[in-house]
Chains A and B, each alone.
Chain A
Amino acid sequence: MSDTLFPIAIFFASIFTGNILLTNYLGMCSFLAVSKELETSAGLGIAVTFVLTVTTPLNWLVYKFLLVPFGLEYLRFIVFIIVIAAFVQLIEMAIERYSEGLYYALGIFLPLITVNCAILGASLFMVIREYNFVSSIFFGLGSGLGWFIAIVAMAGIRQKLRTAKVPPGLEGAGITLVIAGFMAMAFMGFSGMIAVS
């Protein structure tokens, strides 16, 4: 594949074939907890997409220009987390100040995102898979959109599920995990489409 097309392929691959939530099961806790309502799910999904799109390339820069030159790759876990936490904090303050509407839509979800493992996961994958800067942007955006699609789909299913008879032992998180499994299998149907790791 040509170098110019590679980021585009990564973008689609990270939405469908390599969906960070459904193939790697990252970001599960907020996925299970928040997917009850369609509206809040969409809010959290947008917030995750936004933070992923920015922190993945940001961490790429930190990794490439601060950690690699000094041979400190082993510190990436802690450094990535610090960068993500600080960035989320900054974003929250900025949104609160300048965009009232967005703050009321995303505001309470932003602090939650600091500890969403999909965010850290994307940064770590980008290192392992040796993406370049542009690819890391597309990877972040794609992963975020993949997460968004997954949680919104789950919220839709769970809203229908309210009228369904669920065996008592499976109510709540149980049935949600089972459904997540089915969704993951459904997404495997995309696997012939693009193969990029």
Chain B
Amino acid sequence: MIVTLLISIGIISLIAVFLALLMVIADATIGNYGQVQISINDGAKQLQVQGGQPLLKTLNQEGIFIPSACGGRGSCGLCKVQVVEGGQAYLPTELPWISEEERKSNVRLSCQYKVKSDIAILVPEELFLVRQFDTIVESIKDLTHDIKEVRLKLIDPPQIDAKAGQFIQFVVPEYGDVDESVYRAYSMASAPSDNKHIELEIRLVPNGICTTYVHNYLKVGDKVTVNGPYGDFYLRDNDHDIICIAGGSGMAPIKSILLDLAEKGSQRKATYFFGARSKRDLFLVDEMKQLESKLAGFTFVPALSEPSPEDNWEGQIGLITEVVKRNILDGSNSDAYLCGSPGMIDACIKVLQELGVPQERIYYDKF
């Protein structure tokens, strides 16, 4: 009895060991692509890396962070990189994300594309400014019943150079039932001058991996890793009027933009429409009212779409698009900055165009 048991264990182990050995040998021979060269932006930077890994991961290890919302699983389609030399054929997992135009210029999904030979790639200059930051949670504050403000203190590196309105990626460690580290993008709410801190406004999404972590697990003093800054949603320096529209946690980048304007002593005429359902979804109203006195041309217009009777609301009522239409007569000399849900942004873009805002001057951040 014991003998048969031992024999069966032995045989199974033998087979497993043999196959494992085979895999190790295969990994070292077939799977070994050796050292390969990556030339970035026409030779501006040369990297010597171990081949065989996805481009996204390889660049990550070298300190170049390509924005990606899904963490390299090929499900967000954000981590596109142009491979100008040495690219192989497209993988079926890339094709859904690559347009006909992008195919012609050899744009690849860097999380799927594996570096197997010497290649030359083009990476937007601003991504070289992206860094990974070790931070510590300095404070967590409830802004509304479902939005928290998280203030992070930068430790290493101690300073971030971002433009007002840009976002960072928040690395969520393994916790509870989540057995894989993921990262999610959040806009910075702090002013660029406050470069030793990052402030985020995070709304609880039911079953959201990151938002659940932030709302239920994160404590003051915890270590948090973020990388950034990313994004082309930032304040443009000119003398146009400004229309800002936001809803919910879309407040964050707009707040950063307004603080930046105030610090620079801007005289630009600025109107900020903030949409919420009822009074309990409104936040930072006092701060915004204070900004009106600091910022010469600034008006804050909070609007409720469904004020409840006990709110005693005397401000603007209606959908944010209606409120914008009511308050803006001519938008032809304005830049518009929008942040909120895709539905809201699409509706607002339409209204703004009707009001005469040129399409190329409407900047938005959909989430």
- What are the residues of chain A within 8 A of B30 when measuring CB–CB? 90, 93-94, 97-98
Indicate whether A83 reaches chain B with its CB closer than 8 angstroms: yes
Rounded to whole Å, the gap between the CB of A36 and the closest CB of chain B is 13
For residue A57, CB closer than 8 A to chain B, the reply is no
Given A100-B88, A104-B91: A93 and B11 within 8 A (CB)? no
The stretch from B14-22, B179-187, B288-296 touching chain A is B14-22
B residues 1-55 with Cβ under 8 Å of A?
A: 4, 7-8, 11-12, 14-16, 19, 22-23, 26-27, 30-31
Complex Cα distance A90/B93, Å?
21
**Alpha-carbon gap, A85 to B11, bound state (A):** 18
Complex CA distance for A34 and B100, rounded to whole angstroms: 24
Given A71-B4, A100-B88, A104-B91, do A86 and B23 touch, yes or no (CB 8 Å)? yes
Contact B91 A75 (CB under 8 A): no
Interface size on A, residues (CB 8 A): 24
Q: Assess the B12–A90 pair: CB atoms within 8 A.
A: no
Report whether over half of chain A's contact residues are helix, strand or loop; otherwise say mixed. Answer: helix
Docked Cα-Cα span, A89 to B27, in Å, equals 10
Question: Chain A's nearest CB lies how many Å from the CB of B20?
Answer: 8
Q: How far is the CA of A40 from the CA of B93 in the complex (A)?
A: 12
- How far apart are B92's CB and chain A's nearest CB, in angstroms? 5
In the bound complex, residues from chain B placing their C-beta under 8 Å from that of A93 are 26-27, 30-31
For B27, what are the chain A residues with a Cβ–Cβ distance below 8 Å? 93
Q: What's the nearest-Cβ distance from chain B to residue A97, in Å?
A: 5
Let me know if B91 and A107 touch, CB within 8 A. yes
Q: Tell me whether B12 and A86 are in contact (CB under 8 A).
A: no
Q: Which of B316-334 contact A (CB under 8 A)?
A: none
B7 touches which of A72, A83, A94 (Cβ 8 Å):
A72
What is the minimal beta-carbon distance from B51 to any residue of chain A, in angstroms? 11
CB of A75 within 8 A of CB of B8, answer: yes
Quick one: which of A59-75 are within 8 Å of B by CB?
A: 62, 66-67, 70-72, 75
Among B8, B88, B90, find the residue whose CB has the most chain A CB atoms closer than 10 A. B8
CB contact under 8 A between A89 and B23, given known A72-B7, A72-B8, A108-B92: yes
Contact B22 A70 (CB under 8 A): no
A83 touches B89 (CB 8 A): no
In the complex, which residues 67-125 of chain A have their Cβ closer than 8 Å to any Cβ of chain B?
Answer: 67, 70-72, 75, 78-79, 82-83, 86, 89-90, 93-94, 97-98, 100-101, 104, 107-108
Q: Which of A40, A83, A94, A98 contacts B15 (CB 8 A)?
A: A83
Which of A79, A100, A104, A107 is close to B12, meaning CB atoms less than 8 Å apart?
A: A79
**With the chains together, A93 CA to B52 CA distance in Å?**
11
Other A-B pairs beyond A66-B11, A94-B30, 13, CB < 8 Å: A62-B15, A70-B7, A82-B15, A86-B19, A89-B23, A90-B22, A90-B23, A93-B26, A100-B88, A104-B92, A107-B91, A108-B91, A108-B93
Taking Cβ atoms with an 8 Å cutoff, the residues of A that contact B are 40, 62, 66-67, 70-72, 75, 78-79, 82-83, 86, 89-90, 93-94, 97-98, 100-101, 104, 107-108
